[in-house]
Structure 1
Amino acid sequence: MEHLYWDLGSCAGGALYEVELRGSTARVCLMDSEEYQAYLDGDEYEFHGGFFDISPVVLEVPHDDYWYLVIDSNPARIKVQVAQIFD
């Protein structure tokens, strides 16, 4: 499964990330390490985010944990910039 991802590491709840999408719509998913592993394994998983066709997208880390940001789109057709805007 092709996807773009950022290993955000340990993040405190309330941290904000801004995602700028260019070239395509995408599903933007914020997942803890357990959910990300389920995603990779093709199992059921939960995430924070959704499908976006406008940007920037701002996502808030819901609680302290180890987090991944996943962009599920055609990697060849999308450009993504990610920035932490509040920690």
Structure 2
Amino acid sequence: MDHLYWNLGSYGFGARFEVELRGSTARVCLMDADDYQAYLDGEAYSYHGGFFDVSPVVLEVPYDDYWYLVVDSNPHRIKVGVAEIFD
């Protein structure tokens, strides 16, 4: 399965990430470790995010866990920037 991903590590509720998309619309998904593994295995999974055609995208961590960020724009070429937001 072709996708871009970032292993964000452990984050608590309320942490926020900004995703800048350039070149294509994309599905941007914030997933915990179990859901990311299910995604890789082709099983049912859930995620926080959605399909975006406007940038930047801001996603907020909904609960304390280990997180992955997935950007899926297949088959289009895309450039992505990811940054944690500090208030």
Q: TM-score higher than 0.5 here? A: yes
Corresponding residue number in structure 2 for 1:65: 65
Give the percent of matched residue pairs that are identical in Structure 1 and Structure 2: 77
Q: CA deviation at 1:86?
A: 2.9
Task: Report what 1:11 is aligned to.
Answer: 11
Question: Which residue of structure 2 lines up, in the alignment, with residue 47 of structure 1?
Answer: 47
TM-score by length of 1: 0.95
**Which residue number corresponds to residue 81 of structure 2?**
81
Structure 1 residue ranges (4+ consecutive) displaced by more than 4 angstroms after TM superposition? none
**C-alpha distance in 2 between matches for 1:75 and 1:62:** 29
Instruction: Name which of structure 1's ranges 71-80 and 21-30 shifts more when overlaid on structure 2.
Output: 71-80
1:30 aligns with 2:16: no
Structure 1, gaps ≥5 residues long: none
The letter for the 1-side match of 2:16 is L
| Structure 2: 5+ residue stretches without partners | none
Q: Is contact 2:12–2:63 with CA below 8 Å preserved after alignment?
A: yes
CA RMSD across the alignment: 1.3
Cα distance, 1:74 vs. partner?
A: 2.9
